[in-house]
Amino acid sequence: MPDVATRHWTDRVDASLFDRLRRRVTLAGDGLTRPSSPVVAPLTGEPLAEAPLGTGEDIAEAVRRGRAAQREWGSMSCADRAQVFLRYHDLVLKRQDLLLDVIQIESGKARKHAFEEVADVAIVSRYYAIHAQQHLRSRRRKGALPVLTATWEHHHPLGVVGIISPWNYPLSLSMTDAIAALMAGNAVVLKPDQQTPYTALAAIDLLYEAGLPAELFQVVTGRGRELGGPLIQQTDSICFTGSTQTGRTIARLAGERLVGCSLELGGKNPMLVLADADLEYTATGAERACFANAGQLCISIERLYVERPIYDRFLELFSARTRAMKLGASFDYGMDMGSLASRDQLEKVQSHVTDAVSKGATAVAGGRARPDLGPFFYEPTILTGVTDEMTLAKEETFGPVVSIYPFDGIESAIERANATPYGLNACIWTRDTRRGRRIATRIQSGTVNVNEAYAATWASVDAPMGGCKDSGLGRRHGAQGILKYTAAQTVSVQRFLPIAAAPLFSERGWARFLSTSLKLIRRLPGLR
């Protein structure tokens, strides 16, 4: 076991922090006899703390507390709620070193990839603190009949929102949807992944410090198969980030209750490199696109298509950059890539690469585990000669592995990019950005970046982000990302005459009068 990794994380964070954060977990009753499961530090493979194994009773208690607190919170002005999240924005940036340490300890990722999460939470906090009131405000709408009908649209909080977050981005995906739900006036019950509960707890601790009433944001730790059902059964909307298979189950359960359901699921994301692309710049971008967070990113690139005239040169540049990447367990910004998150992830990546190579693929870079660095490290890997009978050709690997292919003609590239049941993210690299934008609209994907891997669309939080096809339902960010946590209500006031036959009209006469009125409205732009 590498001593350097052990020395780093145990010296940076005192074990008492985990004991203190554990007390933030909601437990029904006294919780003294509650069983726990170990949280493993990927850098060493050793347990770093225990997390309680929650039950359906704990979910019920968390929802009860949340509902009680939500009544007052939901009646507050949006401006008052915003003050909490402006303070939170500042605290997240001020205390980022602690957050970064906990993220790295629990997930094993490189520090620069952990910082993406800190920046994301700060950006989303600022955005909804400033813009939520605009998205949620009551609006006057055109009534059924001009002058006679006055209509307004209102948005009310749903009550309690349930969030099930994954291990790969334990800060971002625990907090950013929660921020939107809370700013909309709801309470939140979070079930973080059992591999990474302490990142969420550390972030929520700062939110309490920023002034959020503690009862509004409850956390229940434990296994998804035991807590997911009770959470969906008792909350008013559910948000899930994870696998497509689990997402289908959650959608079915939410549909049976007719409650809202937002799902960001799997991806097999394509990257298109056109012949006019700046190859040095694009090779640098491809490193980020394919290997950020060791490829454990729903929006990372796993299929790379390069126009044939530049294929050989691009492969040479990209392979050289990939082989030069620095891997290791470090709490500074010197490493390009960290560890995979668990033994399960390592075994999946190894099986995909082994299957591909056994069937004729070639690893032009990487292709090996690195136990000398830590138990779950795996080299960033580029494969050529990948064919459809190989597992990784179509199945999401969710690791630092990309298959690369030449293409002839943009129509072929678009067809191949779309030949997947997924549609989460894509990117296009070209000097002709107007052409790149036109091509982007033909890619069947919820987000498409031109000359950037994923951060341009993800960080543009005024715009919606999410997947199509098997990659999910609903959107986070922007107006859609907060309105999904509200119930829309229409209120209309009818004046002078009913929308029905008045005493002076027969039913036939009323129909003629209304027909004439509708024709007039059609021809007068001010009344449409």
Which positions are annotated as active-site residues? 264, 298
E strand map for 316-400: 362-365, 381-384
E strand map for 101-203: 139-141, 149-157, 160-164, 187-191
Please state whether 284 falls in left (phi above 0), alpha (psi between -120 and 50) or beta: alpha
Please state whether 472 falls in left (phi above 0), alpha (psi between -120 and 50) or beta: left
CA separation for the pair 5, 105 (Å, rounded): 10
Buried (b) or exposed (e) across 101-129, using 16+ Cβ within 10 A?
bbbbbbbbbbbbbbbbbbbbbbbbbbbbb
CA separation for the pair 73, 295 (Å, rounded): 39
CA separation for the pair 111, 338 (Å, rounded): 8
Alpha-carbon dihedral sign for residues 128, 130, 134, 136 = positive
**Contact of 395 with 62, CB cutoff 8 Å:** no
What are the residues facing 154 on neighbouring strands? 489
For tokens 């339902």, name the residue.
Answer: 473
Determine the length of the chain.
Answer: 528
Six token digits for residue 13: 């964070």
Give Cβ neighbours of residue 256 (< 8 Å, ≥ 6 apart): none
Q: What angle do CA 491, 494, 497 make, to 5 degrees?
A: 165
Report the C-alpha dihedral over residues 120, 121, 126, 130, rounded to 10 degrees: 100
CA separation for the pair 188, 160 (Å, rounded): 6
CA separation for the pair 115, 99 (Å, rounded): 9
CA separation for the pair 486, 136 (Å, rounded): 9
